[in-house]
Amino acid sequence: MRNRPDAMRQIRSIDDLVSSSPTKLFSLSPNDALVQISLPLVLILAIMTRLMVIGQTMTAQEESPAILEMWKQQLIFRIDQVMDDWAAEAELPAFPDASRILWEGAFPADERFKILCVKSQILNDKDGLQQRLYEQALLPESGGEGPRLVLYDPLASVKPENVSALPAESLITPERREYAMGHISDRILQWRKQVEGLQWTAISETAARLPLDASSEAADPSAELRRIAHELSQRGYPFLDRVTQEYEVAQ
C-alpha cells in the first residue's frame, strides 16, 4: 500500500508526458516572460553598467592630479574662451554636418555658410591663427570675473605691466608655451577638418547638381574642382586651399 501513491504519481507523470504537446512544455505567457526573464536581465545590465562607470571614474581620479596648476588652468581657460569666441564668430557650431547647408539650385544659398567659408580662410594660415589666438589669450582681461593670474610670455608681443613684480607662476616658459600651442593646434585642426568636410560635401553636391556643359572641353576631376571652386568663390564661398588645391597637392 505504501507504493500505491508513488505508482499513481508515476502513472500521472506518464499520462502528462503522453498527453502534453511540445508547446505545452513552454507554458509561459508573454507577460510571464517579460516579468520573469527580461526585467531581471535589464536590471542586471543596468547594475553592471553603473558599476563600470563608477570604476572608471575612480580610476580617473586616481590617475589625474587632484589640483591643476594655476598657470595651466588660467591659460587653458583663456585659450578656450578666445577660441570659442572665434568659432561662434565663424558660425562653426551652426554646421555640425553638411545637411545644415541651404541650397538653391546647383549652388549653396546660405549666408551662414558663406560667413563660415570667408572666416575659415584664415585656417589656410594655421600657424598665424595659432599665434594670434595664443596672444589674444595672454591679454589681461579688464573687468573680468574674479581674480585672475597675469600670464607673461617673454616671447610674445603682449607684455603686462610691471613684469618684474609678477610671480614665477605667471611666467610662460617654453615648455608651458608648447603645451598651450599644442592645445590651440588640436582645436584648430578640428575646425579645419570640420570646414573641409563641409566644403567637400558642398563640392560633391555642386558637382552632382550642376548641369553638364555641352560646349565644354574635355574635363578631368581637377579641372572640374577648379571650376566649381571658382564658381563658389565667385558666389562668396571661398574654400580652403587644402580643398581647392587638393589635386595639385596630390600631384
Partner 1 sequence: MKKMLMGALAGGLSLMVFSQEVDPKQRAKQSLALRAAAQEVVLLLNQQSRWSPEDRLQLTEELSEEILENLKTYRQKALGKTAARTWVTAWRVYDYDLKVGEVMGAAQSQSPLPISIKDILKRVGPDWQVRCERGAKLFAENAVDLVYPQARERAVDELKKRMEAGLQYPTQAEVDEWLLGLDNEEEDGSTPLTQQAFQSLTDLIQPQVVPFETLLEEVSQEPARLTQKVLEVLWLQYQEQMNRVVEVLRPGMGEGGMWMADDMKRAINEGWETVAAAKPDARPPVYDVFKVVSLWGERAAADWEEAELVNFLQSWEEGKVTGRMLENIINVKPSAHLRPEESAEVLKEAVMEIREEQLVDTWMANAPAARKEALRAYYSEALTGEGHLVAAWEAEIDKNLNQQLPAIRQAFAEKQLKAFYPGLANDEPLPESVILWFYDRELAEARESAQVRQAFEMEEDPDAVVFSETGSLAVEVLNEELKPGLQSLTAQIQLIREMEKEGMEVLKASVAKGLDADVLYDQWLKVWQQRWQGIKETQDPRWQEMMRRTSDEMRKTVRQWYVSVEENLAEVKEVVSKNPPEMQTADVEAPNSPEMTPVEVPLEPVSEPKGVEEEAPASDVGDVEDAPKPDAGITEELENFRGKADGVLAFSDLGNGDCRLLFGSPDGKGALSVGFDPENVEASAQKIAEALSGPLRDVLNGTASANEKGGFRLFTRAKEPTLSMLFQVDSPKIRHQMSIQVRQLIQQEIDLWAEEKGQQAPVLLWQDEMGLWTE
**Is residue 87 near partner 1 by the rule CB under 8 A?**
no
Cα separation, 134 vs 131, in Å, equals: 5
Q: Give the cell for residue 195.
A: 570646414
- Going residue by residue from 144 to 183, which x/- string records binding to partner 1, judged by CB under 8 A? ----------------------------------------
Cα separation, 123 vs 119, in Å, equals: 8
Of positions 80, 135, 224, 241, contacts partner 1 by CB under 8 A: 224
Of positions 56, 73, 190, 204, contacts partner 1 by CB under 8 A: 204
Half-sphere exposure in the Cβ direction for 113 (13 Å, CA): 25
Of positions 18, 155, 214, 249, contacts partner 1 by CB under 8 A: 214
**Residue 171 bridge partners (DSSP):** 152
Q: Which is nearer to partner 1, 162 or 215 (CB)?
A: 215
Of positions 103, 197, 241, 245, contacts partner 1 by CB under 8 A: 197
- Closest approach, Cβ 98 to partner 1, in A, equals 7
* Burial (CB count <10 Å: 0-12, 13-18, 19+), residue 114: middle
Cα separation, 91 vs 116, in Å, equals: 6
For residue 106, give the amino acid letter. Answer: A
Q: Which residues of 60-86 are buried (b: 16+ CB within 10 A; e: fewer)?
A: eeeeeeeeeeebeebbbebbeebbeeb
Concatenated DSSP letters for 104-128?
ETTEE--HHHHHHHHHHGGGGSHHH
Of positions 32, 89, 97, 169, contacts partner 1 by CB under 8 A: 97
- Going residue by residue from 16 to 55, which x/- string records binding to partner 1, judged by CB under 8 A? ----------------------------------------
**Is residue 212 near partner 1 by the rule CB under 8 A?**
yes
Of positions 114, 207, 231, 241, contacts partner 1 by CB under 8 A: 207
**Is residue 216 near partner 1 by the rule CB under 8 A?**
yes
**Is residue 83 near partner 1 by the rule CB under 8 A?**
no
Q: Going by C-beta distance under 8 Å and a sequence separation of 6 or more, which residues neighbour residue 117?
A: 195, 199, 232, 236, 237, 238, 239
**Is residue 225 near partner 1 by the rule CB under 8 A?**
yes
Give the residues lining the site for partner 1 (CB under 8 A). Answer: 97-98, 196-198, 200-201, 203-205, 207-208, 210, 212-214, 216-225, 228, 246
